[in-house]
A and B are shown apart, each in its own frame.
Chain A
Amino acid sequence: MKKIIMLSLVLMVVVSSIAQARPTSPVSLEYDEPENIMAGQLVTTKVRVIANTDLPSITLSASAYSGLLLISGNEETVFTNLKRGDSREIEVTIQLDNDLGYVAMQIASTDTMDRDRHQSLALRFGSPNTTTLSKMRSQNTIVDSSGQTLELMQAEVN
C-alpha cells in the first residue's frame, strides 16, 4: 500500500467532485443565456448543437416547458451528416411570463450503428425570485424529534 502524505502547496486543487454519468446522447447543447431578462420582453438567443461523434442525423425540437412563450424556434429541425465536433445553430425567441421560464429541448439522433438516441434537457431563462423559491418549497415540511427535516406525503389507504 502506498500513501501520499501531503501535496505541495505550490499547486492548486482544481478537481473536487467528479460526476460519473450514463452515456449521454451523442449531442451536446450550448446556448448564450441572456442576462437581466424582464417579463414580457422578447429575447432571442442562439442554441448550438455539437456532435460528439459522427452522426448521420440529428433532429432538434424546442417547446415551451414552463414560465414562458416560445415565440419562434419551435419548428423541428433536422441536421444531417455531422462529423465529431461539428456544430449547428438554431435561434429561439422567448417571452417570459414572470421571473423564470424553461424551453424544453428534445434531441433525437441516429448514430453510425443505426441506433436511435434521445435526450431531453432544459434551457433556463431568467432567475427565480424569492416568491418563486418559496413556492418551490413544500409547505408540508417538519423537523422530527431526531432533527431530520421531513417532506410529508399523505398515504392512500388500501
Chain B
Amino acid sequence: MKTFFPVLGLSLVIVLSACGGGGGGGTPAAPTTPAPAANVTVSGKVTYTDFNISAAGIDYANPTNKPIRGAVVELHNPLGTIVTAANTTETGGYSFSAPANSSVVIVVKAALGTATAPETRVINNTNGDALYTLTMPVTTVTSAVTTDFNAGSGWDTASTSFTGTRASAPFAILDTIHQGRLFVQAADSAVVFPALSVQWSVTNKTATTQNIAIGDGPGTSYGDPNMWLNGAPNLDTDEYDSAVVAHEWGHYFQSKLGRSDNPGGDHTTGDIVHPSLAMDEGFATAMGSMITNDTSQINTFKFNPPMADVLLANIENDSRLDTDIDIAFTNTSQLDGFYSEQSLIEVIWDLFDSGTEAGDTVALGFTPLYKVMTNGHKATDAFTSIYSFIHFLKLEEPASSAAIDAILEAENISMAGADEFENPAVFKLYTPITVGATETDDSDGDPLQTFDQWGAATTANSGGNKLLNFRFFKITIATEGCYTFTATPTANADLVFAPTGLDGGVVNEVESTTSPEVFSTDFEVGTHSIAIGAHSDDVFFTFGAAVAASPTLCD
C-alpha cells in the first residue's frame, strides 16, 4: 500500500510566451499559466548478494543475487525526505511515480511490515541502532525509468577478504525472517507480528563480557525484544546462516505469539534440561527447518581457514539413545525424554513433516501446531513443556492421537496417563500443595530439594536451567486473594520463585531476600503453577502456603 507524504519541494516549468502582436498598436497576449510537471514511473528490481553454505563454510566464490522481498522501499526527494513508501514485491520489484526531470533516491530499508511503521528492523547496535538502508539515486527524464540495483556483499574475491560495504548482510537476514513470516501467515493470514529488532554489525561477536555499543554481545540469541546476530569477519558471521536466523526467529515466534517458560541461559547438546527449555529449543530448531525447508542446519564461522558447524546433518535422524532416565540419577549419558531438546526437535519435526517412516505416520503440517502454540499451550496452567503441547495438540487433532503417541514413544516420552502438567506414571514433576498446608516431601515421598545432578545453578544458566534445578508445585485456588508461600531452606540460600500467571507465562522470577524465604502473590480462582529454585544445590526446604484474608489483595 502506498502512502503519500507532503512533497516539500516543487518543480516548476515556467513557459514564457512572447508578447503577441507585431507592428505598433497590437494588444499584448495574456501571460500563460505554467503547465504542471509531468510524473514518470520509476521502477525496477532490487536484489542482495547471497552465498550458499555447507559444512565447508561459505561459498564466497559463487555469489548469487536474490530478490529483496517484502522490504520497506521509499521514494525520497531529496534523500531523507520521504515522498512515498511501499513494500517490495516477492520478486524484489518496486514502482513509484516521480517528478520528471528531477533527481530522486530509491531507498530500501532493512525492515519488514507496514511500510510507514515496520515492526521488524535490522539495526546497527554499534551506530546508535541506525536502520540499515540501501540507497540508489535516480535521475528521471520525461519517460519511464527502470533501475535495477543490488546490495553487494563487500567480498573481494582477489584478496579473499571483505573490502567493501557489507550491504547484503542485513538483507540476507531480512529475507530469512520474511520467509518465516510467510510461513506463519500461511497458517494464519490475520497474524499481527510484534516488534522485533535484529542487532547485527560487522563487529558483533560473542564476547565473554558484553558491551553492546561496540559489538561485544551475548552470542547468537533472542532476548525479547531483540535478536542478536554475529557479523565479525573471520570470527563468526551469521547473516548467511539461514537456519540459525530462522531458529532465533522461532524463539521470537514462541515468545511473542505463543508462549515459552524457558528460563534461558547456556545449554548444550545432551543436556538434561528444564522441560520448558527443552520444549522451546526443540520447537525453535524444528521451526528453523520448517521455514528454510532444509533438513540440515549449518552454522558458519570463519573463512580463513573455512570453518562451520553442522548443527544437524539431517533433522530426520534419531540422534539420541532410547533409554529411560535412571531414577537414581546415576546415569548422566545422553538420553531421550521430555527433558531433551534433541528428542523434542525430532518430535516436533515428525509431527509436522509429510514423510512417513517407521514410527511416524503423522503429517500435520504447521497449522495445527500453530493453533496449539497460540491457544491451549499458550494458556496452560502448567509450565510449558512437551506435555502441555501434546495435551492440547491431541484435543486439536483427536484422530491422530494414537499416531502422535507413537512418535513420542520413539523418544521415550509416554503420554499414557499424562496431562498438560506431567506424566506421573513416569516422572512426577509437580508436588501438589494445598492452602494452609505445609509440604516437606515431593510426590514420590522424598524430601523436597533441588538437584544439580545435571548441572548446578549458575549465573550463566540463569540460576538453573537443568532438570530439577527448580521444583514445580501445583496449587488450586478456590477464592481469589493474596497467597503467601513460605519456603525454608535447610542451607543458607536465597530462593527464586517463579509463578505462572494470566495468559500463561512466568511472571517475574523474584528472589526472596527475607528469612524464611517468602513470596506473596495474588491468585484468581483456578489452578496455578509455581517453581522454586535455589542458587545453591542440594538444598532441602520445607514449603508451606498460607492464605491472607480474601478479598484483600497483596500490597
Given the complex of chains A and B, what is the CA–CA distance between A111 and B46 in angstroms?
44
Q: Indicate if the CB atoms of B509 and A145 lie closer than 8 Å.
A: no
B40 at the interface (CB under 8 A from A): no
B148 at the interface (CB under 8 A from A): yes
Given contacts A4-B501, A8-B521, contact A53 B133 (CB under 8 A): no
Which of chain A's residues have a CB closer than 8 A to the CB of B514? 10
Given the complex of chains A and B, what is the CA–CA distance between A112 and B555 in angstroms?
52
Q: B148-178 toward A: CB 8 Å interface, digit per residue (1/0)?
A: 1111100000000000010100000000000
B523 at the interface (CB under 8 A from A): yes
Q: Indicate if the CB atoms of A137 and B126 lie closer than 8 Å.
A: yes
Given the complex of chains A and B, what is the CA–CA distance between A133 and B216 in angstroms?
13
Given the complex of chains A and B, what is the CA–CA distance between A101 and B302 in angstroms?
19
Q: Indicate if the CB atoms of B554 and A8 lie closer than 8 Å.
A: yes
Q: Indicate if the CB atoms of B221 and A21 lie closer than 8 Å.
A: yes
Given contacts A1-B503, A18-B223, contact A31 B81 (CB under 8 A): no
Q: Indicate if the CB atoms of B126 and A136 lie closer than 8 Å.
A: yes
B499 at the interface (CB under 8 A from A): yes
Which of chain B's residues have a CB closer than 8 A to the CB of A11? 497, 510-513, 518-520
Q: Indicate if the CB atoms of A21 and B266 lie closer than 8 Å.
A: yes
Given the complex of chains A and B, what is the CA–CA distance between A133 and B281 in angstroms?
36
A144 at the interface (CB under 8 A from B): yes
Give the interface size class of chain A. Answer: 35 or more
Q: Indicate if the CB atoms of A148 and B509 lie closer than 8 Å.
A: no
Q: Indicate if the CB atoms of A8 and B519 lie closer than 8 Å.
A: yes
Given contacts A7-B520, A121-B206, contact A157 B147 (CB under 8 A): yes
Which of chain B's residues have a CB closer than 8 A to the CB of A8? 484, 518-521, 554-555
Given the complex of chains A and B, what is the CA–CA distance between A128 and B308 in angstroms?
30
Which of chain A's residues have a CB closer than 8 A to the CB of B510? 7, 11-15
A118 at the interface (CB under 8 A from B): yes
Within 8 A of B (CB), among A95-117: 100, 102, 104, 106, 111-113, 115-117
Chain B residues within 8 Å of A, Cβ to Cβ: 5, 8, 45-47, 65, 76, 79-82, 107-109, 116, 124, 126-136, 147-152, 165, 167, 203, 205-209, 211, 213-216, 218-224, 228, 232, 234-236, 244, 247-248, 251, 255, 260, 262-271, 280-281, 284, 299, 301-302, 307-309, 311, 319, 332-334, 341, 379, 381, 455-456, 460, 462-463, 484, 496-497, 499-503, 507-514, 518-524, 526-528, 553-555
